Amino acid sequence: MTLAAFASYMLTGLAGASSLFLVAAGLSLIFGVTRVVNFAHGSFFMLGLYLAVTLAGVFGRTPLGFWGAVVCASLAVGAIGVVVERLILRPLYAAPELLQLLATFAVVLIVKDAALWIWGPEDLLGPRAPGLSSAVPVLGRSIPEYDLLLIALGPLVMAGLWLLLTRTRFGRLIRAATEDREMTAALGIDQARLFTLVFALGSALAGLGGALQLPREPANLSLDLSIVADAFVVVVLGGLGSLPGAFLASLLIAELKAFCIGLGFSKATLVIEFLVMAVVLVFRPHGLLGRPDPPARATEAEAGEPIPPLVWIPVALALAFPLLAGGYAVILAIDIVILALFAASLRWLIGPAGLVSFGHAAFFGLGAYAAAIAALKLGWPMAAALAAAPLVAAFGAFAFGLVAVRLSGVYLAMLSLAFAQIVWSLAFQWDALTGGSNGLVGIWPAAAVADKTRYYALVLGLAIAAWLLLGRIERGRLGYAIRAARDSQLRAEALGFDVPALRRIALVISGAVAGLAGGLFVYSKGSLSPETLAIPRSVDGLVMVLLGGLASPLGPLLGAGLFTWLQDEAARRIEFWRALVGFVILALVLFAPRGLAGLLRRPRA
Amino acid sequence: MLTVARLEAAYGRAQVLFGIDLDVAPGEIMVLLGRNGAGKSTTLKTIMGLVAAAGGSVTFDGRRIDGMPAHEIARAGLGYVPEDRRVFAGLTIAENLDVGRQPPRAGAPPWDEERVYRLFPRLAELKDRRAGQTSGGEQQMLTVGRTLMGNPRCLLLDEPSEGLAPVVVDAMAEATTALKREGLAVLLSEQNLRFALRVADRAAIIEQGRIKFSGPVSALAADESLARAYLAV
Amino acid sequence: MTLLAASGLTKSYGGVRAVDGVDLEVASGEMVAMIGPNGAGKSTCFGLIGGQVSADAGKVRLDGADLDGSPARRARRGLGRTFQVAQVFASMSVSENLAVAARGRDTTLLERVGLGADAQRPAADLAYGDIKRLELALALATEPRVLLMDEPTAGMAPAERRQLMTLIAGLARETKLAVLFTEHDMDVVFGHADRILVLDRGKLIASGDPSAIRANARVREVYLGHGDGSC
């Protein structure tokens, strides 16, 4: 590599680092003060870019018009942030963190459809920055002037935030509230106002990050999740709540990407950041500059009576109905039961084991690919291929567990996301084995269950068996030990329980069940692609579990049923179905925080 | 100045306070005595709005404050010093004090950093040190000073002597009486009978969320059976 | 016979020596109290022995053999402990808590610590003193040879304190259990400890039988004060 090439990659990386830092800084500030993991942060970035494109068109192609559009877009996103905070998050500050996450995910769906409605599905390219549209020669290579401006902007914003946090009273209040919210309230500080301001600042930073991309990339509807994934990686890699950490991590990630692209390994960029994050978290469980988590809120005891037995009758009837009805009901029922099994495996992990996974689709996908590869490449019969699915997924979970069990909370969730991305990129890039982005086709069930109704009977039977098994384990001695490790790691260890081993076991069991669901999925569809284990499926799983409610094993079934049916029905009938799903999720989070299963319980006297 | 009537509170389904009655006058120190888990801390937190009251009323300066959010109660003139100190560990001593700053109140000289340092000279020497790197006693002084920066007219002190070296306990006792002389009302919770007898004018004993005794401390000092029955002495 | 022996235990946090070269021994059947002001290093000391805190230097031996590794490993070697902030399994009932700890062994510990009537209650609903009692039952359910108790009687009335400490003393004698405990209540300390260790700023400044400790001028200065020790 020549010095000139090196310098050019370096500068490209630095420019990328600046915009990454803007987004990550906002996410980090919001998390630090409000403890909300804001999934919608990437949506704010996307809105910033769309708004800037529109405003730049209105304001005209002058420097004032361009920069006016950037600033106004950023301020407008800040204002949207305030609305989101006031209407959606404020009622949820006392709720479990996962519900807040679910609510911000609903915002993602709503914003996406709002953007589709306003700006349409086409990519929108913004104008170049007037006066900065040429390139500057650096060591014989030309670097866009605009990139040089961005390079300067990152450290400037960092310095500005640093001054704000250390030299102003507002900054001191933010830092105090980051450490102890309740105590700041007792000292006369209006938390609600502080939260709103911090949310406004954080969203405006995300909006600014988006708006500044105006000449660099077109506005499009897939930016939200890709940006938020990057921002999560940066924030976690840097250490939650640490701005210098976020800055450092932005540099690291952006440089790595720039060099990968520059050196011709552009495919590697898909996975490199997650690989780096995984490595860092294994050695530094709290990120580069992070401090240990504040202790999580104590686990709530199971509240309310068990679900009344009468509820099981309609559930059983609903499950049996497609067997008789046939037709489309069977197709939908197969999807629902398979996803319910997937969700049940995730509930097992989040509930009894207390381990939150943002990348559970990895195990689903491992099972799916295992079955497909066994069937297509090895020519195994269906029974053997289906048996391979949970085994391979369990092995994957075991491997993940080797590095993951030392982490907890958001860090563990992020590592699971990284793991899922790595598995995804394997599926995406290992053409010879997985068919790459085309995936694999032609995986059909054995003749005996080729009929959809019969296949549904098989799926239902296996799902019920796995579901009963999970329940047995949960109520058995192993389940109690796993719950004990969740309730109090200190006490469990002081009683001689090997907590890491218990967590690994919990992961392996959960992974195996998710893998079985994946195997059944492949045979129901006849084909699979890397989408099967992409981030959206992990998120879907999480949404189903939380919609259904964590406290009851019935939750995943109800959650998967509602979510799948809603998606299916809405997607066929309504153009803006995502927004509808988003509003349904919000309604449930705000009015039925214990999930659907929670609605069926009578509160204890 | 502060009147608590039939106050009730619960954590989840477990009721902790069953109708607490208390009152504190300006320039008076009232001590709430009781063993761990009797409801002392909960009483103070409920008055401060950190735990929601499930029943009863809290009146401060003739104004109902129960149901108000904590920051409004603080601005109304109630200062709260938690038992576990809860300093902002990553902020310096001076920054901690600044977080507590609120506008001055008519009729009383306002608190500022210098005045806190006069009350606790040790803090002046450490003002640029991160609070997390100071000793338990220094943190206790800081947390009292931080609350005073809000110019409270009534101070709620949760177990100010808990786990502190006697030297620091002395300093706390002196500071508390000095504040009382300036006309502050003080409601403090204690397990330590000796500290209570030393500083307080009146005492109440709380047991399982109910007030079992209320009266001048002299009556408590005279009746050993009371202390024996309800306190860990 | 010395069952638990620690030597040269040292731990620093950010340049401050929280525990600074502490040596101690506890014989089987003996009750040893560790006292000192908050922040003196008592809980860190317990963490070093229990394995919850990793030592900068020093060694712990149980019955002559090195006691090292994870807390779980030390627990399986016969070390039981309670924590200053009692640790129980909040999502389970009292009896489920004990079943987890006892791993199928039959036990009457709930009755012995006075929680027999509360067996079906959720542990999260117990009063603080009862949570302490439950935690003690959990620690005893593994049939440890050495028991560390961090403020075992916090949150209890005087009569309950005496009752609980008498129970522990009885167990120590019956089962040759070695007990090391911290406590702020001097009645408990002077009433039940065979020997007392005094810790101040991470260093052991005195050790001896109760009467010697009560008379020790240095101990009066840093901890007991000039009253009778309750301040």
A501-540 confidence digits (pLDDT tens):
999 999 999 999 999 999 999 999 999 999 888 888 888 8
Query: Of chain A residues 178-207, which have a CB less than 8 A from chain B?
Result: 179-180, 182-192
d(CA C182, CA C132): 14
- Distance to chain B for A201, nearest Cα, Å: 20
Please give the residue range of the domain that contains residue B30: 2-84+149-230
**CB within 8 A of A140, min separation 6: which ones?**
A4
d(CA A499, CA A394): 19
Query: How far is Cα of residue C77 from the mean position of the Cα atoms in its chain?
Result: 17
d(CA A71, CA A66): 9
Contact A179 B89 (CB under 8 A): yes
Amino acid making up residue B189: S
User: Could you tell me which chains touch chain B, where touching means 3 or more CB pairs under 8 A?
Assistant: A, C
Task: Locate the DSSP E strands across chain B.
Answer: 2-11, 14-24, 29-33, 53-60, 63-64, 78-81, 154-158, 185-190, 202-207, 210-216
Does position B10 have pLDDT exceeding 50, yes or no?
Answer: yes
Which H or E run includes C205?
Answer: strand C203-208
Q: Which of A36, A24, A47, A419 is nearest to A223 (CA)?
A: A47
Cβ proximity of C25 and C5 under 8 Å: yes
Does position A328 have pLDDT exceeding 70, yes or no?
Answer: yes
Does residue B137 lie within any of the structural domains?
Answer: no
d(CA A484, CA A507): 15
* B57-90 pLDDT tens trace: 999 999 999 999 999 999 999 999 998 788 998 8
Cβ proximity of B47 and B20 under 8 Å: no
At A514, is the secondary structure helix, strand, or coil? helix
Nearest to C90 among A301, A481, A494 (CB): A301
Contact C75 A499 (CB under 8 A): no
Test the C interface: residue of A300, A350, A475, A491 with most C CBs within 10 Å: A491
- Strand ranges across the sheet with B14-24: B14-24, B2-11, B53-60, B63-64
Residue of A nearest to B148 (CA): A187
| pLDDT of amino acid A505 | 96
Q: Which residue has the higher pLDDT, A495 or A101?
A: A495
* B155-179 pLDDT tens trace: 999 988 776 766 778 888 999 999 9
Q: Which of A439, A477, A445, A440 is nearest to A458 (CA)?
A: A445
**CB within 8 A of A487, min separation 6: which ones?**
A299, A354, C88, C89, C90, C91, C92
* Range in A99-108, A403-412, A565-574 the model is least confident about: A403-412
Tokens coding A173? 């209040």
DSSP C83: -
| pLDDT of amino acid C172 | 86
Q: Which of A313, A315, A320 is nearest to A456 (CA)?
A: A320
Cβ proximity of B186 and B157 under 8 Å: yes
Q: Which residues of C198-218 are buried (b: 16+ CB within 10 A; e: fewer)?
A: bbbbbebbbbeebeebbebee
Number of H helices, E strands in chain B: 10, 10
**CB within 8 A of C65, min separation 6: which ones?**
none
* A422-456 pLDDT tens trace: 898 889 888 888 888 888 988 888 888 888 899 99
Query: How far is Cα of residue A11 from the mean position of the Cα atoms in its chain?
Result: 30
Contact A477 C80 (CB under 8 A): no
Contact A182 B80 (CB under 8 A): no
| pLDDT of amino acid C227 | 46
The stretch A258-275 carries a mean pLDDT of 80
| pLDDT of amino acid A528 | 92
Contact A488 C88 (CB under 8 A): yes
Q: Report the complex ipTM.
A: 0.92
Does position A203 have pLDDT exceeding 90, yes or no?
Answer: yes
| pLDDT of amino acid A197 | 95
Q: Which residue has the higher pLDDT, A469 or A2?
A: A469
d(CA A411, CA C158): 45
All residues of chain C having their beta carbon less than 8 Å from the beta carbon of residue B36 are 128-129, 154-156
Does residue B41 lie within any of the structural domains?
Answer: yes
Query: How far is Cα of residue A596 from the mean position of the Cα atoms in its chain?
Result: 22
Range of A333-342, A577-586, B192-201 with top mean pLDDT: A333-342
Q: Which residue has the higher pLDDT, A187 or A310?
A: A187
Contact B193 C185 (CB under 8 A): no
Query: Rounded to 5 degrees, what angle do the CA atoms A430, A431, A434 make?
Result: 75
Name the pLDDT band for A296 (thresholds 50, 70, 90): very low
| pLDDT of amino acid A576 | 85
Residue A317 has a CB neighbour count (10 Å cut-off) of: 9
Largest Cα–Cα distance of chain A, in whole Å? 78
Does residue B45 lie within any of the structural domains?
Answer: yes
- Distance to chain C for B230, nearest Cα, Å: 7
DSSP C191: H
Amino acid making up residue A496: G
Give the strand pairing for B154-158 and B185-190: parallel
| pLDDT of amino acid B57 | 95
The stretch A347-366 carries a mean pLDDT of 92
**CB within 8 A of A563, min separation 6: which ones?**
A339, A540, A543, A544, A547, A581
At C51, is the secondary structure helix, strand, or coil? coil
- Distance to chain B for A302, nearest Cα, Å: 12
Q: Which of C144, C141, C145 is nearest to C105 (CA)?
A: C141
Torsion of CA A342, A348, A351, A354, to 10 degrees: -110
Cβ proximity of A278 and A415 under 8 Å: yes
Q: Which residue has the higher pLDDT, A228 or B117?
A: B117
| pLDDT of amino acid B29 | 95
Which H or E run includes C6?
Answer: strand C2-13
Amino acid making up residue A51: L
User: Could you tell me which chains touch chain A, where touching means 3 or more CB pairs under 8 A?
Assistant: B, C
Q: Mean of the per-residue pLDDT values for chain A?
A: 88
Alpha helices in A168-190 (DSSP H): 169-179, 181-186
Q: Which of A422, A447, A438, A432 is nearest to A373 (CA)?
A: A432
Contact B192 C231 (CB under 8 A): yes
Q: What is the CATH number of the domain that holds B48?
A: 3.40.50.300
d(CA A363, CA A538): 10
Three-state SS for A433-500 is HHCHHHCEECCCCCHHHCCHHHHHHHHHHHHHHHHHHHHHHHHCHHHHHHHHHHHCHHHHHHCCCCHH
- Distance to chain A for C35, nearest Cα, Å: 22
d(CA C205, CA A239): 40
Amino acid making up residue A364: F
Contact B36 C156 (CB under 8 A): yes
Identify the segments of chain C with pLDDT beneath 70: 38, 155, 157-158, 222-231
Does residue B185 lie within any of the structural domains?
Answer: yes
User: Could you tell me which chains touch chain C, where touching means 3 or more CB pairs under 8 A?
Assistant: A, B
Query: CA C32, C37, C41, C42 torsion: positive or negative?
Result: positive
| pLDDT of amino acid B163 | 66
Does residue B92 lie within any of the structural domains?
Answer: no
* A87-111 pLDDT tens trace: 999 888 877 777 888 899 899 999 9
| pLDDT of amino acid A108 | 93
Q: Which residue has the higher pLDDT, A604 or A306?
A: A306
What is the length of chain A?
605
| A315-323: long-range pairs with CB below 8 Å, 24+ | A315/A554, A315/A557, A318/A561, A319/A460, A322/A453, A322/A456, A323/A453, A323/A456, A323/A457, A323/A460
Q: Is A58 exposed, middle or buried (0-12, 13-18, 19+ CB in 10 A)?
A: exposed
Give the strand pairing for C203-208 and C195-200: antiparallel
Q: What percent of chain A has pLDDT over 90?
A: 46
Does position A209 have pLDDT exceeding 90, yes or no?
Answer: yes
Query: CA C179, C183, C189, C192 torsion: positive or negative?
Result: negative
Contact B36 C129 (CB under 8 A): yes
**Sole residue written with tokens 């068996």:** A465
Domain count, chain B: 1
**CB within 8 A of A263, min separation 6: which ones?**
A1, A9
| pLDDT of amino acid A301 | 41
The stretch A352-364 carries a mean pLDDT of 91
Cβ proximity of B146 and B94 under 8 Å: no
Name the pLDDT band for A303 (thresholds 50, 70, 90): very low
* Range in A116-120, A370-374, B23-27, B32-36 the model is least confident about: B32-36
Report chain C's C-alpha Rg in angstroms: 17
d(CA B115, CA B120): 9
Residue of B nearest to A194 (CA): B71
Residue B211 has a CB neighbour count (10 Å cut-off) of: 21
| pLDDT of amino acid A597 | 75
d(CA A507, CA B120): 53
| pLDDT of amino acid A602 | 52
A-B contacts at Cβ under 8 angstroms? 65
Test the B interface: residue of A169, A179, A187, A604 with most B CBs within 10 Å: A187
| pLDDT of amino acid C145 | 94
d(CA B231, CA C134): 22
Contact B135 C125 (CB under 8 A): no
Contact C16 B233 (CB under 8 A): no
Does residue B109 lie within any of the structural domains?
Answer: no
C-alpha distances in angstroms, A207 versus A90, A170, A329?
21, 21, 44
The stretch A241-269 carries a mean pLDDT of 86
- Distance to chain B for A247, nearest Cα, Å: 19
Contact A495 C139 (CB under 8 A): yes
Tokens coding B59? 């009146």
